[in-house]
Amino acid sequence: MPERRFDVSTLGEAMLRLSVRPGDRLLDAPAYQVHVAGSEANVAYALAQVGARSAWTSVLPRNRLAERIAGTLRAGGVDLSGVVWTNSGRVGTYFVELATEPRGPSIVYDRAGSAICAATPDLFDWDLVCAARIVHVSGITFGLSPGTLEVSRRAIAEARRRGCRVSLDVNYRTLLWPPAAAAAALREQRGACDLVICTAEDARDVFGLQGEPEDLARGLQSELECPAVALTLGAEGAALAEGGSVMRRSAFRVQAVDRIGTGDAFAAGLLWGWLEDSLPMGLDRGVAMAALKMTLHGDLFTLGADDVHRLLEGEQRRVRR
């Protein structure tokens, strides 16, 4: 890859997450924990923690809630030069009720009217957004509003025009749009992305694919005409289809504290390996970072490269025995 100002540039919404303690209900919780959240911001933050030069672009309103987001990301080493500040709109929020089995977590979104939803492509400095080796976008931004759909399309087109590698995380959200609409928008990007990240569930529900993980990964390669597809499999780990081969990695055993943000940590690890021209290395790192993220409260991956390497080296020693 040519030398660029950033290693990875991401674009999307950031929100504030308000969580109640495990065992409390949103209906009557006396207090909330506040965390910065948002898929693309999470990826940029995680990459910065492992030493990559990451940037995040978005639209934020001029208020203290947005300053909380910006301050957290800057403190984590994320470049915010491309953020557009506006006098309109708001910061989106979401509320999380954590629970253990047999109850799963409950999430309530309050993001309508957030500042980025009014964005248009002409709002952004595309030279700055694409001053990166990799430009990473997600299906969440495709689905937020008609404006952000156009922004997402433009981001991919501008990245390709400037010779950046393009990474797309499908990241389907049922509360944003129906599967058919998501599939149609993402299929427009056939041949435009170098790497696609998707859950096995989304491969089935959004794209209508069937079969074992290897079949799903190859199916997405064909569906989106993409050289490489990473498929996350939850407790079963992840798979990578690159060229004509498919490889699997098992998940680590985890006593989970908080599973939200796990997919973004995986994506960051995958991109970290890709920066070193090795998606198989990225697959290993992604599975490790996903496991480590589940030991942390909040959406952000706040550990470092040494933590990832130690986990991987420990696993290798265990396997050698």
Report DSSP state, residue 135. Answer: E
Q: Where do we find the tokens 């557009």? A: 84
Q: pLDDT grade, residue 315 (50/70/90)?
A: low
Q: Are 194 and 221 a contacting pair, CB within 8 Å?
A: no
Check residue 281 and report its DSSP letter. Answer: H
Strand, helix or coil at 280? helix
Does position 316 have pLDDT exceeding 60, yes or no? no
pLDDT digits (tens, 9 = 90+) for 183-238: 999 999 999 999 999 999 999 999 999 999 999 999 999 999 999 999 999 999 99
The pLDDT, as a whole number, for residue 102 is 83
Query: pLDDT band for position 182 (50/70/90)?
Result: very high
Overall residue count recorded for the chain in this entry: 321
Q: Does the pLDDT at position 319 exceed 80?
A: no
Positions marked active-site: 264
Name, in order, each residue with C-beta under 8 angstroms of 151's C-beta and a sequence gap of 6 or more. Answer: 11, 119, 120, 121, 123, 124, 141
pTM for this prediction: 0.95
Sequence letter at residue 19: S
Residues 6+ apart with CB under 8 A from 54: 6, 7, 8, 9, 10, 43, 44, 45, 47, 48, 77, 78, 79
**Contact between residue 133 and residue 7 where contact means Cβ atoms under 8 Å apart:** yes
pLDDT over 60 (residue 38): yes
Rounded Cα distance, 63 and 74, in Å? 16
Q: Is the pLDDT of residue 63 over 60?
A: yes
> pLDDT tens digits for 6-30?
999 999 999 999 999 888 999 999 9
pLDDT band at 48 (very low <50, low <70, confident <90, very high): very high
Cα-to-chain-centroid distance, residue 279: 16
Q: From start to end of 173-254, where are the E strands?
A: 195-199, 228-232, 238-242, 245-249
- Comparing 13-17, 42-46, 138-142, 252-256, which segment has the lowest mean pLDDT? 252-256
Structure confidence at residue 3 (pLDDT): 65
Helix (H) or strand (E) holding 41: helix 39-49
Phi-psi region of 51 (alpha: psi -120 to 50; beta: other; left: phi over 0): left
Looking at residue 305, its pLDDT comes to 98
Range in 18-27, 136-145, 289-298 with the lowest mean pLDDT: 18-27
Q: 3-class secondary structure for 206-257?
A: CCCCCCCHHHHHHHHHHHHCCCEEEEECHHHCEEEEECCEEEEECCCCCCCC
Average confidence (pLDDT) over 56-64:
99
pLDDT confidence band for 1 (50 / 70 / 90): very low
Tens digits of per-residue pLDDT, 261-275? 999 999 999 999 999
d(C-alpha 15, C-alpha 174), whole Å: 18
Q: Which of 23-27, 42-46, 102-106, 263-267 has the lowest mean pLDDT?
A: 102-106
Whether 317 has a pLDDT exceeding 50, the answer reads no
Q: Are strands 59-61 and 54-57 parallel, antiparallel or unpaired?
A: unpaired
Element (H, E) at 169: strand 165-169
Domains and CATH numbers, the chain: 6-13+39-90+119-320 (3.40.1190.20)
Beta bridge partners of 199: 232
